Amino acid sequence: MIKLKNISICIGSDKIQLKVVMKHLVIHIDNKLAWTEQIKCLNSKLSKVLYNRRTVKQIIYCHHLKIMYTTLVQRNLLNGITLWGSTYQSYLMNTLVLQERSYGTINKSEYNSHTACQMHED
């Protein structure tokens, strides 16, 4: 096994530094490809969106909530899912819960209700 701490790469006189996490466009890539930083940022975004949806779900129509889901939640989930979607399931559990809760706000259901049937009907 190669220890990356001992490797030094130079281009001309410029030394390239080793990064633990690198952000490229909207994807956070870590040096072990575990995608923990990407999922942490995604969960943070989904939590903020979920809070906003809960605050407005009583004053706007279900149709508008579906549009919000598509533009705010689904868009964030699909960004780079082919890369980070194959990570450990234990890393993705919180993301799945946030997605289900966000989808549950469309039907104005309780925060802990099961949404699997509702998601497949639409």
Distance CA 24, CA 38 (A): 11
| Average pLDDT of the residues of the chain | 80
Identify any residues that bridge with 23 across adjacent strands, giving them in sequence order.
Answer: 28
Give the Cα-Cα-Cα angle 62, 63, 68 (nearest 5 degrees): 90
Residue 121 has pLDDT above 70, yes or no: no
- Choose between 115 and 9: higher pLDDT: 9
Cα separation of 110 and 56, whole Å? 15
Distance of CA 46 to the CA centre of its chain: 7
pTM metric for this prediction: 0.70
Pick the more confident residue, 19 or 64. Answer: 64
Report percent pLDDT > 90 for the chain. Answer: 5
Every domain of the chain and the residues it spans: 35-121
